[in-house]
Amino acid sequence: MIKISDDDFSIDEVMLNTRRPSMGAVVMFLGTVRDMTKGNQVEKLEFEADYDLAVKELEQIRQEAIDQFEVTDVSIIHRTGELQPGENIVIIAVGAAHRNQAFKGCRYAIDELKKRAMIWKKEILKDRSYWVGDQSNE
């Protein structure tokens, strides 16, 4: 399951869609909105995506994790829109025959998502806002 959506996701649904009887382990990563960043109060985050390119890249990352780490399945859902502290941002579930494969596949998926997916994050603080990665504003 690969998805980008303005809507929240169900952790249980992601687990049900990823889990298989052949798996001995399912590792999940859940990214949430923090209330502080670099000592500053976060009011909200805003995520934008090029949906078509981001989904295509996430599908590629999924396949790479399957091929490189011999995992059985990978699910990735990333939200867009305005999110408040405590809300879900991203979930990755990776199932494999063994836990080591699942952990490695999950770590790979989140690291590559952060590097390659066409998804942008804006931090809105009390006194300013900036797009993460724009070094002139951080």
pLDDT given for residue 36 in this prediction: 93
Q: Could you tell me which residue, 138 or 103, shows the higher pLDDT?
A: 103
Query: Kindly report the CA angle at 118 between 34 and 120, in degrees rounded to 5?
Result: 35
- Mean pLDDT over 43-65 rounds to 97
CATH number of 2-131: 3.90.1170.40
Confidence of residue 133 (pLDDT cuts 50, 70, 90): confident
Sequence ranges of the domains in the chain: 2-131
- What distance separates the 2 farthest-apart alpha carbons in the chain? 51
Range in 65-69, 94-98, 126-130 with the lowest mean pLDDT: 126-130
Mean pLDDT of the chain: 94
- DSSP label at residue 34: -
The pTM of the full predicted model, rounded to 2 decimals, is 0.92
